[in-house]
Structures are given as structure tokens and as C-alpha cells.
Amino acid sequence: MTLLFRQSRELEAQIDEYLDLIIQGGLLFRQGVKCFLEHRLDEFEVRLTELRAIEQRADHLRRTIESTLYIHTLIPDARGDVLGLLESADEVLNMITVTLKRFSVENPELLDDLNPLFQDLAASAIATVESMVAGTRAYFRDLAAVRDHVSRAQGYREETNRLAETYTREVFRRNLRLSHKNQLRYFVSHTEQVAEDAEDVCDRLAIAAIKRDA
């Protein structure tokens, strides 16, 4: 991140670690969903516990980064944008964690024949997050690459929306209790929201990149 943070190698390392934690959280979400769909609930709970620990570490690290930016008055021109990006990215990780936790709390009765579709949905949502993280890294290292990562995130978000609609339409065609249909729609919606939140970060990222390049 030498482009923006020439003054502080420690701060560079902290932001890199923070973004790494988001990537790890996304991987754990994807693994956790797979375990749940395959009825490996003990393994699912292990993934959830690991994800919660990562979220806590990321929260602590974000606060440390924010304090460092203020105390040492680093990058005053871009500080507000950087803080906004970090806080928005934190909301994405929070949504990832909350969504997986809901599986543990509610233990939804998913439809086995639609599990591959749900797994694709989860993978697409996390791919959006991964593109968001790549774009955020580019903001610090290679400003010209931000646009490509943002565009890729938008593509994954669109695919996530398509998969969510396909799953939901299929559920409401079935002869199921309305309460069951609504519960499944609820879990699809929360998984879809992960991608929506990641795209929101990308929207902020695109604006921040334009301001820095001006």
C-alpha cells in the first residue's frame, strides 16, 4: 500500500490484515453453508465459532486503525473516505456473521434438491465480497484497477440476485406451508444481502477513487 501510506508501514500491515479477515470470513461462510446443506452440523458450528472470532478480531483491528489515523493525523485529505470504506466493509462482515448465525439459531428446513442452487447463491455472494476486497486493496495500491474490481463485483451481485430469484420462485411453486416458504425466502434474502452490502461498499469505493484521481 505504498501509494497512499508511505508514512506508516504498520498501518499498511493493519489494513492488509483487516482485509484478509474479511476474505477469511467469506470463506468460512461458504464452508459453513456447505456443511449445513450436507447436514454436517458439528462442522457447521465449528465454522460459525471461527467466523465469530474473526469478526471480533476485525472489529478490534478496525478501531485500532481508526485511532491510528486520527492520532497521527495521517492522510488528512483521504481519511474520511478511508474510514467510511472500513466501516462499510465491517458491515459486510457483520452481515456474513449474522446470516450464518441465523442458520444455527433457526435450523431452517432447506430443500435437498435445491441445495446446489443455494450453494451457488452463497458462492456468488462471497465472490462479490472478494471483488470488493480486491477493489479496496487496489484503492491503496493501484488506483487504475479499482474500476475493474468494482465492475466485477457488480457482475457477481447481479448473478446473486438472479440465483436468489430463481430459488425463491421455485420455493413458491412447491406445495409447502406458507410459513416454510417464507422462512426459506428469508434465508435467501439475507444471503443475497451480503452481495448487496458488498456492492454498496464498491459504490463508495468508486467515488473515493474518483476523488483521489481528480
Residue 1 lies in a domain: no
Residue 184 lies in a domain: yes
Q: How many domains does the chain have?
A: 1
Residue 124 lies in a domain: yes
Residue 57, pLDDT score: 97
What confidence category does residue 91 fall into, taking pLDDT thresholds of 50, 70 and 90? very high
Each residue's pLDDT tens digit, 106-131: 999 999 999 999 999 999 999 999 99
CATH number at residue 174: 1.20.58.220
Residue 157, pLDDT above cutoff 90: yes
Residue 2 lies in a domain: no
Residue 3 lies in a domain: no
- Spatial neighbors of 145 by CB under 8 A, at least 6 apart, are 135, 138
What's the pTM value of the predicted model, to 2 decimals?
0.92
Stretch among 27-41, 55-69, 166-180 having the lowest mean pLDDT:
55-69
Residue 4 lies in a domain: no
Residue 4, pLDDT above cutoff 60: no
Residue 206 lies in a domain: yes
Residue 24 lies in a domain: yes
Question: What mean pLDDT is predicted for residues 199-208?
Answer: 94
Question: What mean pLDDT is predicted for residues 33-41?
Answer: 97
What is the DSSP annotation of 117-137?
HHHHHHHHHHHHHHHHHHHHH
Residue 75, pLDDT score: 61
Question: What mean pLDDT is predicted for residues 64-76?
Answer: 74
Q: Range of 74's domain?
A: 9-213
- Spatial neighbors of 72 by CB under 8 A, at least 6 apart, are 7, 8
